[in-house]
Amino acid sequence: MPASFPVPIQEDIRDLLMDLLGRGTAVDKVTPLVLEEDEAGVIAEYRTDEGAVGAVCLVDAEFAIRTAGALTLVPPAAVADTLRKGDVSEALENFREIVNILAQLLNSPRTSHLRLSGVHVIPGDLPEGVSSLVAQPQFRRDFAVQIEGYGSGRISLLVN
């Protein structure tokens, strides 16, 4: 049986976000993130070069909007407005950059190469391999992230 893909630990997530956002970031382990049916979030999927889903990154709307805002120094008040509207789509371009760079934490010399292959706003339809991995991952880690000046959100990494 092939080795499972690596699941980053909290220090990996903290260091990557601190370097990427250029500001203080605190990361804590939390219980698994489960979004309610009507709760907004984003799922990034990572596939091997052969097209198999190897990992997904699930975040709540707070994480997506706050990290996307911090990435390009959007004023925190404008980020708060976007959060009140609950419109995750406005944050997708920047968020895509974040989860694209996150792919490096999901790769290892012992596992197939993974790259970001799609970003999906939820609630919404998901590709079959993605929904099954979200429902039944082999391993997962869940974190609460606090970004200096922007606030908190939650992120989960799930792998096959």
Q: Where do contacts with other proteins occur on this chain (CB under 8 A)?
A: 16, 19-20, 22, 71-73, 93-94, 96-97, 100-101, 103-104, 107, 113, 115
Tokens describing residue 117: 């292959």
Length of the chain in terms of residues written:
160
Within 8 A by CB and 6+ apart from 55, the residues are 5, 45, 46, 106, 114, 133, 157, 158, 159, 160
Tokens describing residue 157: 């990494």
Judged by CB, which is closer to other proteins: 98, or 134?
Answer: 98
Judged by CB, which is closer to other proteins: 35, or 98?
Answer: 98
Structural contact between residues 88 and 41, judged by C-beta atoms closer than 8 angstroms: yes
Judged by CB, which is closer to other proteins: 95, or 134?
Answer: 95
Rounded to a whole number of angstroms, the minimum distance from the CB of residue 111 to other proteins is 13
Rounded to a whole number of angstroms, the minimum distance from the CB of residue 106 to other proteins is 11
